[in-house]
Amino acid sequence: MTRYTFVDNINKLLSDDKWLISQDRYDKKLNQRYETNFTLANGYMGVRGSFEEGSDDECPGNYIAGIFDKSEAQVRELVNVQNWVGIKVYVNGKNLNPDKCEILDFIRILDMKHGILFRGITLKDDSGMITHIEGYRFLSKHNIHRAAIKLFITPVNYSGTIAIENIIDGSVLNSKENPAQKTKHLRIVENTNFVNGGCYLETATRDDDTRIGTGFYVKIYRSDDGNNIVKHKRFAPLGEISSEYYEFDVTENKTVEVDKFVSTYTSRDVSKEKIKSEVEKDVYNFASEGIDNELLKHIEIYEKLWNVANIKIEGDDEADKALRFNVFHLMSSVNESDHRVSIAAKALHGEGYKGHVFWDTEIFMLPFFIYVYPKAAKTLLMYRYNLLDAARQNAIRNGYKGAQYPWESADTGNEETPQWGLDYKGNPVRIWTGDIEYHITADIAFAVFEYYRATDDIDFMLEYGIEMILETARFWISRCEYNSSLDRYEINDVIGPDEFHEHVSNNSYTNYLARWNIQKAIEFVEILKKDYPSTYEMLSSKICLTEDELENWGDIIPKIYIPFDKEKRF
């Protein structure tokens, strides 16, 4: 097995530039941008590319798919959970803070081919001591609960004492830079150390008591002989922060390695009582298997994905890499095994749009998955199917029938769009999308059909898809308004797909897709009746669909007004 280290592979990596996103200069002001670009995710969780040593100008984030909470926020939002990235380095007792040192050398590289974030930095502190730190981190695609950080620390021009502080930071907030919205979603349940070393921090969401347990174990050893060199170790539960501290002697130009093995389990995965023991077991297994072992399995998965997903654009290197960057983050954001989560507008990469799922998922992201990763595409649609009951409740709440999907969707399927926002002057602004951007409901029906069209997955349609198309069709029938003077059905007071013009009547996109939705429902009923009569019987009984109702749909369809049909604007 090859040792996968930055040192050994840097040249090989750099020679393959089309797979790399690099940052070769440190600029505090760009920290948050690079944090987003350098986010790693494995579908289960996502960790923003903040620095191990921290900086005031960053917005670290660690998000677990499906973990939402409201507390004092406007709506339920994807929770920024405890962060395990922190590793502080102290040279002869003084914190090695890049913001207070001379930076002699700096690089970060996102290796998209393997899903690894590399870094290197050489710092000169105000005593003239030069320390070189390099390493990498990854969130395993093989065991989605695992993540690791490896650092190589070299005292370039001194011998002395280095200390390391490893933390899990549970003091995190959402919207931490916005005092009008910042929200604490977690309470600390347990802050302790494992019997044989390492830290454990368990938190709970404040509304639902969803538990999140994060643990780590750290090995520190000399590169040349692999010997453990820690001479002093201390655990301290610092309130919301779990911290383990290690001191060791270093020799000029001799490299020391720090391996941080991290595992995360939540009460979405196992029962509350088992979280800690699962984390502890996994952390220790991980530590005994070693980072390289997990990393190779992780790389294998990315290689398989890229074998299908890679797209080359010849003659335009920038577009070629930009497309690969998008594909990388899409592939990193999906968890094909979890039918209770989808991909948010900002994926697991940040707090923008509060981790909510919009029409973007079905219209912009799903086609990628349908063609390169259909199992994941099905998972994304299953998220909507699992929230079909909530969509039914949503329709009832708004005075309609069938199923109306929320404009912004989190874990419950309730409408999560805030009704009010604030402009930059702090004046309230009414947000209408949750009330009237109805087209999301047809978008989802359309996505179901797109998936079927490409995959011929009739089992999915029989079990889930057709029910969604029927119930969304039923919504549209109830949403249409009959204009008797023009003898047509209209859909008034909506927001169309441009998302900015509010209170529009008879938006082409909306009306067209509504009609399409009802039409497809009727077509599938015909197929069911013909080829799957027992399914039809079961389903029509389950959703109380009668021949009369279907006849009514058939009557309405030709009378739904589609502006461009007549005006030929398109």
Task: Note the residues at the interface with a second copy (CB under 8 A).
Answer: 56, 72, 88, 90, 92-93, 95, 160-161, 163, 165, 170-171, 173, 177-180, 182-184, 186-188, 231-232, 234-240, 243, 245, 247, 424-426
- Which neighbouring-strand residues pair with 257? 152, 221
Q: DSSP string spanning 482-510?
A: EETTTTEEE--SB--TTS-S-SBSS-HHH
User: Containing H/E element for 391?
Assistant: helix 388-397
Contacts of 167 (CB under 8 A, 6+ apart): 84, 86, 87, 88, 199, 241, 242, 243, 244
In the Cβ-directed half-sphere of 563, how many Cα atoms lie within 13 Å?
12
- Supply the minimum distance, in Å, between the C-beta of residue 201 and a second copy: 13
Between 128 and 399, whose beta carbon lies closer to a second copy? 128
Between 32 and 332, whose beta carbon lies closer to a second copy? 32
- Supply the minimum distance, in Å, between the C-beta of residue 59 and a second copy: 13
Between 424 and 500, whose beta carbon lies closer to a second copy? 424
- C-alpha span between 73 and 273 (Å, rounded): 28
Of the candidates 58, 190, 490, 499, the residue annotated as catalytic is 499
- Supply the minimum distance, in Å, between the C-beta of residue 109 and a second copy: 28
From the list 458, 454, 471, the residue with the least C-alpha distance to 387 is 471
- C-alpha span between 510 and 504 (Å, rounded): 10
DSSP 353: G
* Active-site residue flag, 499: yes
Between 88 and 559, whose beta carbon lies closer to a second copy? 88
Residue 549 burial (10 A CB sphere; 0-12, 13-18, 19+): middle
- Supply the minimum distance, in Å, between the C-beta of residue 411 and a second copy: 22
Q: Residue 95 corresponds to which amino acid?
A: N
- Supply the minimum distance, in Å, between the C-beta of residue 393 and a second copy: 30
Between 249 and 317, whose beta carbon lies closer to a second copy? 249
User: Containing H/E element for 519?
Assistant: helix 508-531
Pairing of strands 130-139, 420-422: unpaired
Between 90 and 221, whose beta carbon lies closer to a second copy? 90
- Supply the minimum distance, in Å, between the C-beta of residue 184 and a second copy: 4
Between 188 and 270, whose beta carbon lies closer to a second copy? 188
C-beta atoms surrounding 337 within 10 Å? 12
Q: Which sign, positive or negative, has the C-alpha torsion 35, 80, 300, 321? A: negative
Q: Are 171 and 239 in contact, with CB atoms under 8 Å apart? A: yes
- Supply the minimum distance, in Å, between the C-beta of residue 210 and a second copy: 16
- Which neighbouring-strand residues pair with 58? none
Residue 418: φ, ψ to 5°: -65, 145
Question: What residues act catalytically?
Answer: 499
